[in-house]
Structure 1
Amino acid sequence: MNAQKKKNPRNKETSGLDDLDAILMEVELETRKKAVAAAAKSTKKTGKGQGPNNKPPPAQTKSLSEQFEEEVKDLVPVDEQFPDGNFPVGELCEYTAKADDRTAVNRMTNEEKKSLDASYEETYKDFRRAAEAHRQTRKYARSWIKPGMTMIEICERLEAHSRRMINENGLKAGLAFPTGCSLNNCAAHYTPNAGDTTILQEGDVCKIDFGVHVNGRLIDCAFTLHFDPKYDDLVNAVHEATNAGIREAGIDVRLCDIGETIEEVMSSHEIELDGRTYVVKPIRNLNGHSIGPYRIHAGKTVPIVKGGEQTKMEENEFYAIETFGSTGKGYVHDDMECSHYMKDYDLHSEHIPLRLARSKNLLNVINKNFRTLAFCRRWLDRLGETKYLMALKDLCDKGIVQAYPPLCDVKGCYTAQWEHTILLRPTCKEVVSRGNDY
């Protein structure tokens, strides 16, 4: 997930809707509720729950999330698959030497570094458990995602499996952020809201970006799905660029050097679509980022173009290395209806007065269920929250919650994404989310 902080949290776009939008949506939800209540009342009048033909009424339809949670309830969670707590280790890479000797080397056999490495073992185990849950869920998802499915169905089914694999347990283990399933020119931050009827098409390029966590240790990992081989060159270019960024990353490596490497690799690729040739462009205002406990973006950004920060990566930092490529302008802007939200990590919201009771209630729900992890409207629906849009807007207007609308390049273009989480351990670099698939 590319969680870029909004510069001005107090404008209309921050909440993804204005006052009129929020009121109209609340009215629509209330209308639906009344229709359901009227139907139930009508059923009752026909004779103690019997239908007009003396048949029992149909069972109440389960929500999609409930259906899919029922489907996966017998699966064995990752922590039960590995009861000794020794989860699979990711890809281990020795730090490579640079011409100016900046990069940390010869650490795998250094006894001091090995001892320091061992002291962080419990943290690494949390990451590895989350990574294994991610691997198993994405393998499962790739086996059934196909054109003709609604985006809501895809997200709800994937999230149900992910919750089961991570053995969801409040804030101790669960989903790290909403499932992104951005299509075509939309590069990031799209997940369907309730009522979204978007259907995955044969000609779509879909970025599946989802995360899980254990004790706030987040795995942020993404891949691109496409069903038409004409997009192979785009998808492969971005995949290669992500791997190049991972190879370049390491202790004492400057962030700008990683961006330069990524841009060089990605821009060396071209794709021909419908008789026209495009250079694959890095999306210059999207980037990778450092990861902290319960914090998807911990302060450092990893550019995917040259000319970024001179800041260096440091020992025992954790990063999401992600790249985005486009056949468009290589620049994204806010577009479409907002679905992603996240409480501001640095803000002490208890010092901000809230006059609306619903705003106070919603903030309590957010603190209890998500804390500073990202969430979406579907997840509030799942918790049974209703009539929350005005309260959500109020929290956004006050800067307590940040809105992250979908990020899109120009219409008609196509974008791709690949991402892995890496641990800069004292002894080596561990690509903890690496799997046999990518």
Structure 2
Amino acid sequence: MGDALKETETGPPPSVDGEDHDDSEKEDAAADVPGAPAGEGKKKKKKRKPAKKKKLAQSDPPRVGLSKLFPDGNYPEGELQEYKDDNAWRTTSEEARYLERMAMEDEEQTYENIRHAAEVHRQVRQAARKHIRPGMSMTHIADYIEDGVRAVVEENGLQAGIAFPTGLSLNHCAAHYTPNAGDTIILGDKDVMKVDIGVHVKGRIVDSAFTLAFDHAYDPLLEAVRAATDTGVRESGIDARLGEIGAAIQETMESYEVEADGKIYPVKSIENLSGHSIELYRTHGPKSVPMVRTNDQTKMEEGEYFAIETFGSTGRGRVVDGGECSHYARVFDPPRVPLRLTSAKALLNTINKNFGSLPFCRRYLDRIGESKYLFALNHLVAQGIVRDYPPLWDARGSMTAQFEHTILLRPTRKEVVSRGDDF
């Protein structure tokens, strides 16, 4: 890590006596040497080369804070896409451009904070994609990703850090699995793993996910889901109706099929999962972006931002709760309920201080020194103050995949803030 932060300079070596001397006097004297042939008495002046600084680069594994790589605080813009049809005028509209300038200069630096989180996401996930291989434990993979996020975002309490537990859901488990302490699951070469990473800066969350499969038989499944997500991104925009976006996603998704173990499996959209709007310190906002056709006439609006995520399955295309729970979150507006258990009160204080309304997992409680907290945690769930999010399973034996991007609906165009060279 130290080498990645080191700056080196190149230039002329210092003089032997430690002082800098001006060679111009020697050159002038040489020019006046009597009897020297024309042109030989003069020596060409050597220009000093300015000291060069080695450009900082991200380390492997990622441990260089992003502020060191972007000291001016200007982070890369995401992929820009023009709005469709009736909104095409926004690209050249003077009014829309004015509104965009105002949004860029808002006191909360909303755009820059989102882009900051997005660049952290890109750097960490691209390193993870190169690093993850069959034979690794789920705990190792989660630690690799989360240690990277904490370092690159320069974790600072609730000002910057992990937005939710890293999802590493395998095979028929579509979402909401991350290892608990003592987990012994090892990634196999036939597994299909969804990697769902969340980063936030000052509560502005970037939510993006990809899927890894090492058996090429499932390449068409990954291709279907990636194409469906790109369709959802393309169809999204100001005044776009959520139900119509879902119809376009479903049409793309279900045009694919997978051949595995001598059988043909149609790819299905998982009908009871969806994308979602994102709000300040709130991963799942009030608007849902379906991945199947619905009658929802709710429109996307200017200034909102969304996680466009799609899940495809070779199974029934519907998920149910299953397995040991790892994900939890304090309810965004918790009810005022008297807590009689001292341990529950203490745990709630810990949750409020360390996570606020952001999701957390049991490993995170372990990490900050909590122990024997399950009874208190379950009590908070029973009181409706904390919500549990068990793993979501499709039919056993099926395979599921996920791709997800965060998009920002700017006044002039949409910005796919989480887009990278990898997907």
Name the TM-score, length of structure 1 as normaliser. Answer: 0.81
Shift of 1:74: 8.4
When residues 384 and 405 of structure 1 are mapped into structure 2, their CA distance, relative to the original with a 3 A threshold, is same
* Corresponding residue of 1:88: 76
Name which of 251, 265, 271 aligns with 2:238: 251
Instruction: Specify the SS of the correspondent of 2:397.
Output: coil
Q: What corresponds to 2:280 in structure 1?
A: 293
1:415 aligned to which of 356, 381, 400: 400
- Report the counterpart of residue 292 of structure 2 in structure 1: 305
1:359-389: CA deviation from partner (whole Å, max 9, x where unpaired): 0111011100110000000000000000100
Contact 1:87 1:132 in 2 (8 A): yes
Q: Which amino acid aligns with 1:209?
A: D
Does the CA contact (< 8 Å) of 2:268 and 2:314 recur in 1? Answer: yes
Decide whether the 8 Å contact of 1:233 with 1:271 is kept in 2: yes
> Which of 91, 95, 99 is residue 112 of structure 1 equivalent to?
95
Higher helix residue share? 1
Which deviates further from its counterpart, 155-164 or 112-121? Answer: 112-121
1:245-281 CA distance string (max 9 Å, x none)? 1000000000001000000001011111111101100
Shift of 1:117: 1.2
Query: 1:75 and 1:383 mapped to 2: Cα distance?
Result: 21
Alignment partner, residue 337 of structure 2: 352
Alignment of 1:34-433 (within 5 A): 75-97=63-85, 101=86, 104-121=87-104, 122-348=109-335, 351-433=336-418
Q: Is the 8 A contact 2:205 2:281 kept in 1?
A: yes
Distance change >3 Å, CA 116–CA 193, structure 1 → 2: same
- 1:308 positional shift: 4.2
Whether contact under 8 Å (1:259, 1:308) holds in the other structure is no
Asked if 2 retains the 8 angstrom alpha-carbon contact of 1:79 and 1:129, the reply is no
CA deviations over 1:222-243 (Å, ceiling 9, x no partner): 0000101111001100000000
For 1:249, give the aligned amino acid.
Answer: S
Q: 1:118 & 1:361 partners in 2: Cα distance? A: 45
Could you say if the C-alpha distance between residues 413 and 196 of structure 1 is closer, same or farther in structure 2, counting changes exceeding 3 Å? same
1:263 touches 1:305 (CA, 8 Å); kept in 2?
yes
CA distance in 1, matches of 2:162, 2:379: 25
User: How many angstroms does 1:352 deviate by?
Assistant: 1.2
> Matched residues in 1 for 2:395 and 2:410: separation?
39
Deviations, residues 400-437 of structure 1 (Å, cap 9, x unaligned) = 00000000001000000000000001111000000011
**SS of corresponding position for 1:105:** helix
- 1:344–1:401 CA contact under 8 A, matched in 2: yes
Please give the per-residue CA displacement for 1:148-181, whole angstroms capped at 9, x wherever unaligned: 0110110011100111111100000000000000
Higher relative contact order (CA 8 A, sep 6+): 1
The structural deviation recorded for 1:134 is: 0.2
CA distance in 2, matches of 1:72, 1:382: 23
Give the deviation of 1:119 after TM superposition.
2.1
Structure 2 gaps, min length 5? 1-58
Contact conserved, 2:62 with 2:123, CA < 8 A, in 1? no
Once the two structures are superposed, what CA deviation does each residue of 1:265-303 show, in whole Å capped at 9, x if it has no partner? 010111111111011000000000000000011100000
- Report SS of the residue matched to 2:415: strand
What SS does structure 1 have at the residue aligned with 2:89? coil
2 CA distance for matches of 1:315 and 1:244? 20
Residue in 2 that maps onto 1:56: none
8 Å CA contact 2:82–2:88 kept in 1: the answer is: yes
Alpha-carbon distance in 2 for matches of 1:391, 1:209: 28
Secondary structure at 1:342 match in 2: strand
Distance in 1, Cα, partners of 2:415 & 2:325: 34
Q: Are the aligned partners of 1:91 and 1:434 in contact in 2 as well (CA < 8 Å)?
A: yes
Aligned to 1:221, the other structure's residue is in SS state strand
Give the CA deviation at 1:79.
2.2
CA distance in 2, matches of 1:172, 1:115: 29
TM superposition shift of 1:347: 2.0
**8 Å Cα contact 1:73/1:164 also seen in 2:** no
Contact 1:72 1:164 in 2 (8 A): no
Query: 1:336 Cα deviation (Å)?
Result: 0.2
How far apart, in 1, do the equivalents of 2:61 and 2:210 lie?
Answer: 26
Q: CA deviation at 1:75?
A: 2.9
Return closer, same or farther for 1:394/1:337 CA change in 2, 3 Å cut-off. same
Secondary structure of 2:219 counterpart: helix
CA contact (8 A) 2:62 2:152 kept: no
The secondary structure found in structure 2 opposite 1:183 is coil
Partner of 2:91: helix, strand, or coil? coil
Paired residue type of 2:71: P
Q: Judging changes above 3 Å, is the alpha-carbon distance between structure 1 residues 302 and 308 closer, same or farther for their aligned structure 2 residues?
A: farther
* C-alpha deviation, 1:317, in angstroms: 0.5
Counterpart AA for 2:276: H
Instruction: Give the total of aligned pairs.
Output: 361
Amino acid at match of 2:422: D
Larger-gyration structure (1/2):
2
